[in-house]
Amino acid sequence: MKHQVKAHYPVSSDVLIKAFTDKAFHLSKLEQLGVTEHEVLGHSFDGQNFSIKIRRKQPLGVPIPAALKKLIASGEVTIEHEDCWNLPSKTGHVNFDIHGVPVKLSCKLSLADDAQGSVYTYDWDVNARVPLIGKVLEKTLVADLDEKIAAETAAGIALLDNYS
């Protein structure tokens, strides 16, 4: 399932990419979101290319359909994600692994300036590998992604004063 989300930020894409390529920004954003159980598994930045891999545990933010209760019994998931950015192009990608959930999540990322600041575009590819309930799982995860992106955008905006 393809899914696009656009998040708007009140700063230029230059400011935003500076934040997105700072390890401290990612960790502060998790704290803002109340994600207390997290670990940085890897991090690198060579001045042009940035990556950070994080494992975190958090609840799904949407109700779990009955068909998915066996897959996500506790309503909480462990996620490993690696965010990668190229500074000059202001593009990136993120790969997700949701432990115990047979789904592949990947996303292409891009930043662009607009009249109010900048737009952060997420182009998601969500593919569940479960017969019969795969589409239900994809729709549930997309709804959760939308909720999480809105929360992450608000948390990120709150941290941008450090990058202007």
CATH number at residue 33: 3.30.530.20
Amino acid at 79: I
Parent domain of 41: 2-162
Residue 157 has pLDDT above 60, yes or no: yes
What are 94-153's pLDDT values in tens digits? Answer: 999 988 778 899 999 999 999 999 999 999 999 988 777 788 888 888 988 899 899 999
Tell me how far CA of residue 55 lies from CA of 40, 85, 96, in angstroms.
7, 18, 10
Domain count, the chain: 1
Give me the pLDDT at residue 72, please: 63
**Gap between the Cα atoms of 151 and 51, Å rounded:** 22
- Residue 141's beta-bridge partner residues? none
Return the sign of the alpha-carbon dihedral for residues 8, 13, 17, 19.
Answer: negative
Average pLDDT over residues 12-37: 95
Q: Which residues pair with 7 in a beta bridge?
A: 120
Q: If you average pLDDT over every residue of the chain, what do you get?
A: 90
Residue pointed to by tokens 């799904």? 60
pLDDT > 70 fraction of the chain, expressed in percent and rounded: 90
